């Protein structure tokens, strides 16, 4: 039984280079090797096939009929392999791929858009998948959240968080402010204390993703000797601001979020605010994906 010829990738590359360059000398320069090495590679290929792949003359070389046929396959194979190599290299460098990012309301209203713009400029081949999530979704207490479970690659949330599987990086802190209708008496004050809110209708949130706000509000009010009466519970900030604008009640939210509604409502600083919101980026320690590592460098300012 006649065995199949054993053709190497090196031989195919040499075959294509000699044909492209019209001779062995220029092919050797292209392949960064010696002319004799290219000649031996082609001779080994011809010996394996049992026929010449080039017709040699004083005017140069040209493919034989077998060489012409083989070149068609060689160009496809070499081209595909080069393409695979380039794609593999860009993936290893984190220049292509997908990054899943979860963010809370504070981050999307402050630093995150600039971070995303900077990253996208540096790595336009990376697909970004963004999802709005609360801290209690990303890193809930005593149970895996979307970050530790691997549903997202990185999250921007209120911290610090207690999870030995996660790495976290502190970004900044944001103070709580009182937000009211512009016609509300408290809107004219330079600042208010939690005690000033005792007789006010403080609106709260009912959804799980906003519970971190509700806990902070309850803590602030508790220190002033009262707890808000949850007669109206909200699902999101837009609903809350709509009611505040109509002077139905007041809310306590981070300063950065309140700034987005400055044309509609009044925001007044809280005096002696003991609990600022500390904003962190968090990701799994064992997530070594090059795309994520590049993004972390942009977030932390190591790459700009």
The CA-based angle 89-91-93, given to 5 degrees, is 70
**SS3 of 106-118:** HHHCCCHHHHHHH
List the domain boundaries for the chain: 9-92, 97-173+278-299, 176-275
Burial of 140 (0-12, 13-18, 19+ CB in 10 A): middle
Give which of 146, 130, 126 is closest to 293, Cα–Cα.
126
- Encoded tokens for 65: 């009929």
The CA-based angle 109-158-302, given to 5 degrees, is 70
Neighbours of 282 (CB within 10 A): 25
The average pLDDT across 25-49 equals 90
**What does the alpha-carbon distance between residue 170 and residue 159 come to, in Å, rounded to a whole number?**
8
Domains 9-92 and 176-275 share a fold: no
pLDDT tens profile 235-283? 777 888 889 999 998 988 888 888 888 899 999 998 876 678 899 999 9
SS3 176: strand
Crossing angle between the packed helical segments 24-31 and 35-49, to the nearest 10 degrees: 110
Q: Is the pLDDT of residue 92 over 80?
A: no
Query: Which residues face 127 on adjacent strands?
Result: 98
pLDDT tens profile 205-228? 776 666 777 888 888 888 888 888
**What does the alpha-carbon distance between residue 257 and residue 264 come to, in Å, rounded to a whole number?**
13
pTM over cut 0.75: no
**What does the alpha-carbon distance between residue 48 and residue 42 come to, in Å, rounded to a whole number?**
10
SS3 66: helix
Strands 176-180 and 126-132, how do they pair? unpaired
Which residue did the predictor score with more confidence, 114 or 57? 114
pLDDT tens profile 156-165? 998 888 888 9
**What does the alpha-carbon distance between residue 236 and residue 220 come to, in Å, rounded to a whole number?**
20
Crossing angle between the packed helical segments 290-299 and 112-122, to the nearest 10 degrees: 130
**What does the alpha-carbon distance between residue 94 and residue 88 come to, in Å, rounded to a whole number?**
10
Q: 2: which DSSP letter?
A: P
Kindly report the CATH class assigned to 9-92. Answer: mainly alpha
Q: Long-range contact list for 25-34, CB < 8 A, 24+ apart?
A: none
Q: What is the pLDDT of residue 128?
A: 95
> CATH homologous superfamily of domain 97-173+278-299?
Periplasmic binding protein-like II (3.40.190.10)
The average pLDDT across 93-99 equals 86
Quick one: what percent of the chain has pLDDT higher than 90? 38
| 8 A C-beta contact, residue 159 and residue 278 | yes
Give the architecture-level CATH label for domain 176-275: 3-Layer(aba) Sandwich (3.40)
């Amino acid at each position: 039984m006649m065995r199949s010829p054993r053709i190497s990738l090196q031989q195919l590359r040499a075959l294509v280079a000699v044909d492209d360059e019209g001779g062995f000398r220029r092919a050797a320069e292209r392949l960064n090797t010696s002319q004799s090495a290219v000649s031996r590679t082609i001779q080994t290929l011809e010996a394996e096939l049992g026929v010449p792949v080039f017709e040699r003359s004083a005017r140069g070389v040209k493919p034989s009929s077998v060489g012409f046929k083989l070149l068609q396959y060689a160009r496809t194979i070499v081209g595909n392999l080069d393409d695979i190599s380039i794609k593999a290299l860009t993936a290893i460098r984190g220049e292509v791929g997908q990054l899943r990012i979860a963010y809370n309301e504070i981050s999307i209203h402050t630093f995150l858009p600039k971070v995303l713009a900077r990253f996208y400029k540096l790595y336009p081949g990376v697909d970004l998948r963004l999802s709005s999530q609360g801290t209690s979704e990303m890193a809930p207490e005593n149970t895996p959240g979307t970050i530790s479970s691997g549903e997202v690659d990185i999250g921007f949330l209120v911290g610090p968080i207690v999870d030995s599987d996660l790495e976290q990086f502190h970004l900044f802190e944001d103070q709580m402010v009182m937000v009211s209708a512009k016609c509300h008496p408290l809107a004219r004050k330079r600042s208010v204390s939690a005690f000033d809110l005792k007789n006010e209708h403080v609106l709260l949130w009912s959804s799980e993703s906003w519970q971190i706000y509700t806990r902070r509000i309850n803590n602030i009010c508790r220190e002033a000797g009262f707890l808000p009466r949850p007669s109206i519970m909200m699902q999101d900030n837009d609903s809350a601001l709509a009611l505040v604008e109509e002077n139905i009640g007041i809310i306590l939210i981070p300063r950065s979020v309140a700034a987005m509604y400055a044309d509609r409502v009044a925001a007044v600083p809280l005096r002696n605010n003991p609990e600022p919101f500390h904003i962190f980026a968090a990701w799994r320690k064992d997530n070594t994906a090059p795309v994520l590592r590049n993004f972390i460098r942009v977030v932390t300012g190591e790459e700009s």
